[in-house]
């Protein structure tokens, strides 16, 4: 569920959101309506995971989260023990909110910490401060919400290797079971892109980022985390079931403006415009673009996604689904990466090494059919 509201615009963000809460009630009403309208998409399958993303879902009260979850329970079979995650920003987390979210059914939080350093938070134009980054974690642990994930960003020009180490160590020392760590990317049309172009901010240095990523992989391995996807690390048994579903190609239904859905053979995505979304839902169905994937597109998607995971690209699956010729082609195409030690091949699976992780998307693109 995409909740498209934020307190302020982070400099690097290119997600769909607005800082105006004017249509929040209408949008939530539309979401409730859309849940009912899209019942058929999952063809009666049991819902195993729910994810409140955005935007900033932690702007929602316990009652609002409860309304959305109750609607889902009424419309879909929900698995016992379903993983229900809410993305939260540190400045929104209060004891009362934690308690009411938990009562509503939230059992996992993904917290947008990004860094424990004040100057970087200001540089990124985050709404929270460094003190709130720490206090919110302590509050969650006190309230028994221990299934936590933290987002951290590396590679900003302000972040020294020593500070990066401190950020990672702080998260590890709290016993956080899941970490999502992203390289700072400068997307077009973001304030950060503009500020760099106007020479108001230092550009991002790719060598600095690559070094911090390599350091990260070493530190977290030593701390006992599994590196199960390029950007994701988890203590054993604590992988995100929701994110893992995306990488396994399991059907998902996205609700709300800009939300994406996938059913194995086709993708679709809702209009990334709040007013248009609300109006179209009120008329019967959210405005969306649908795309059926050809067999080649499905193979390329499988290559792109599975290569980023610890399980790797399964050549047996490629052979069974897309034919022996595709398996042979990929086996031939990976030779140069095997020589460069960017991939390894074992049990008929192609997996990235740490060096390969640095150029994961490039390798995947070169293996495309």
Return residues touching ligand SF4 (CB under 6 A).
Answer: 6, 9-10, 13, 15, 17, 54-56, 89, 112
Return the number of the residue (126 or 227) whose C-beta is nearest ligand SF4.
126
Report the first-to-last Cα separation within the chain, whole angstroms: 33
CB closer to ligand SF4 out of 52 and 322: 52
CB of 12: closest distance to ligand SF4 in angstroms?
7
Q: What's the min distance (Å) between Cβ of 242 and ligand SF4? A: 17
At 202, phi and psi to the nearest 5? -70, 135
- Least separation in angstroms between residue 97's CB and ligand SF4 is 16
Q: Please, what is the Cα angle at 337 between 334 and 339, to 5 degrees?
A: 110
Q: Could you tell me the smallest distance in angstroms from the CB atom of residue 32 to ligand SF4?
A: 22
Quick one: how far is CA 205 from the chain centroid? 23
Q: Closer CB to ligand SF4, residue 61 or residue 321?
A: 61
364: Cα within 13 Å, side-chain hemisphere: 22
**Helices of type H across 4-113:** 24-37, 62-75, 95-104
CA distance 120 to 160: 11
Q: In whole angstroms, how close is the CB of 368 to ligand SF4 at the nearest point?
A: 30
| Smallest separation, CB 19 to ligand SF4 (Å) | 8
Asked if 139 and 93 touch (Cβ cutoff 8 Å), the reply is yes
Instruction: Report the residue number, 15 or 174, with the smaller CB distance to ligand SF4.
Output: 15
Note whether 57 and 104 are within 8 A (CB).
Answer: no
Closer by beta carbon to ligand SF4, 156 or else 309? 156
Q: How far apart are CA 203 and CA 341, in angstroms?
A: 30
Residue 163, both tokens: 């500070």
DSSP string, 220-235: HHHTT-EEEETTEEE-
Closer of 174 and 182 to ligand SF4 (Cβ):
182
């Amino acid at each position: 569920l995409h909740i498209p509201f934020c307190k302020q615009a982070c400099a690097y963000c290119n997600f769909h959101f607005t800082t105006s809460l004017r249509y929040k009630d209408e949008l939530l009403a539309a979401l409730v309506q859309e849940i009912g309208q899209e019942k058929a998409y999952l063809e009666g399958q049991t819902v195993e995971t729910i994810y409140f993303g955005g935007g900033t879902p932690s702007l929602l009260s316990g009652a609002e989260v409860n309304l959305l979850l109750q609607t889902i329970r009424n419309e879909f079979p929900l698995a016992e023990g379903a993983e229900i995650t809410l993305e939260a920003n540190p400045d929104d987390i209060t004891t009362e909110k934690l308690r009411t979210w938990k009562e509503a059914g939230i059992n996992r939080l993904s917290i947008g910490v990004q860094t424990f350093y004040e100057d970087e938070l200001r540089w990124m134009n985050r709404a929270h401060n460094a003190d709130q980054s720490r206090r919110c974690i302590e509050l969650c642990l006190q309230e028994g919400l221990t299934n936590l994930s933290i987002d951290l960003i590396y590679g900003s020009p302000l972040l020294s290797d020593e500070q990066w180490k401190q950020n990672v160590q702080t998260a590890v020392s709290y016993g956080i079971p899941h970490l999502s760590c992203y390289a700072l990317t400068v997307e077009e049309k973001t304030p950060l892109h503009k500020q760099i172009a106007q020479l108001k901010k230092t550009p991002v240095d790719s060598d600095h980022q690559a070094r911090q990523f390599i350091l990260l992989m070493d530190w977290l391995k030593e701390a006992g985390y599994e590196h199960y996807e390029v950007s994701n690390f988890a203590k054993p048994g604590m992988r995100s079931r929701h994110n893992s579903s995306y990488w396994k190609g399991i059907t998902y239904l996205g609700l709300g403006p800009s939300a994406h859905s996938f059913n194995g053979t086709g993708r679709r995505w809702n209009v990334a415009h709040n007013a248009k979304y609300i109006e179209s839902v009120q008329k019967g169905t959210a405005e969306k673009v649908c795309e059926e994937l050809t067999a080649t597109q499905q193979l390329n998607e499988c290559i792109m996604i599975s290569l980023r995971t610890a399980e790797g690209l399964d050549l047996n699956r490629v052979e069974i689904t897309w034919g022996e010729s595709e398996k042979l082609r990929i086996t031939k195409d990976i030779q140069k990466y095997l020589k460069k030690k960017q991939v390894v091949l074992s049990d008929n699976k192609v997996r990235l090494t740490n060096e390969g992780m640095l150029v994961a998307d490039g390798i995947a693109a070169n293996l495309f059919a």
